[in-house]
Amino acid sequence: TACDSFTWNGVTYYQSGSYENNIINSSSNSYSMLFDGVNDYIVTSNSVIPTSGNFSVSFWANTSTLTGTYAEVVSQGASGQSGFYIGYNPSGGIRLGDDWQNTGVSFPTDGVWHFYTLVKNSSNTYFYIDGSLVATKGSPIGNPTSTPFRIGRQFGNIGEYFNGYIDEVMVYNTSLSSTDILDIMQCSNQSLVGLQAYWNFENILNITTTTDASSNGNDGLINGALYSLNVPIQSCNLINVNGCDS
């Protein structure tokens, strides 16, 4: 009988089994962006998070230094209008927009990459770190207004700049499941339904603009942030490939 084969990450497998591909400094994820906490940021020319309905936002971040003030990794909206952001307060407590100021979770400052995901649906809001649910609000936060999406700072002229590395920023117009989150964390699986924007920071030849890899045209203007080879380690697992064992 004919043997089945499966091509994955550029390699064709002919034998049954479980396989793993460790992604670090490869063509899949070779660069992140470094923000100085003073005036570095990235901004789009339009809004990305939908102004109504479900949405999810995820990214990798790595810092060993709190700024001692408010700081935001991503943001969109305006104050007093369900402004959205993921960041921390002067004490290092994570806050998730105007509607969820006190999560009871501290922002990691161990100099290690962590994966953050906020999921908002019609009945609740959830926050995950490294694929584990760490906070539940008990009600949905509001959607932000239609303003430019920012990475590394707060919306408007507030500032609140983030000091550290950011990578693999994704925005969805759906509420991701816990399985979706693990898939994205482990393998940057950006092919899921509802992807609005995806900044992987791999276009290092362009020092002024970061390309939206979702093909939705949400490119971001780079203001001071620098490309870095410091990237998260991701492990893509391929389970039970059917083929010929001999």
Q: Provide the H-helix boundaries in the chain.
A: 178-187
Number of C-beta neighbours around residue 6 at 10 A: 13
Position 150 pLDDT exceeds 60 = yes
Pairwise CA distance, residues 168 & 59, whole Å:
5
83-92, 110-119, 160-169, 187-196: least confident range = 187-196
Q: What is the mean pLDDT of residues 197-224?
A: 94
7 strand-pairing partners: 12
Return all residues near 114 (Cβ < 8 A) that are at least 6 apart: 60, 61, 62, 108, 129, 130
Q: Which of 217, 224, 179, 174 is nearest to 198 (CA)?
A: 217
| Whole-prediction pTM | 0.86
The pLDDT assigned to 114 comes to 98
Q: What is the mean pLDDT of residues 104-130?
A: 98
The two three-digit tokens of residue 2, written as one number: 């004919």
Burial of 56 (0-12, 13-18, 19+ CB in 10 A): buried
The pLDDT assigned to 190 comes to 55
Q: What is the mean pLDDT of residues 83-99?
A: 97
Please state the separation of Cα 200 from the chain's center in Å: 9
Share the mean pLDDT of the chain: 87
Pairwise CA distance, residues 200 & 61, whole Å:
12
167-209 pLDDT, tens digit per residue, is 999 999 999 999 999 999 988 665 568 999 999 999 999 999 9
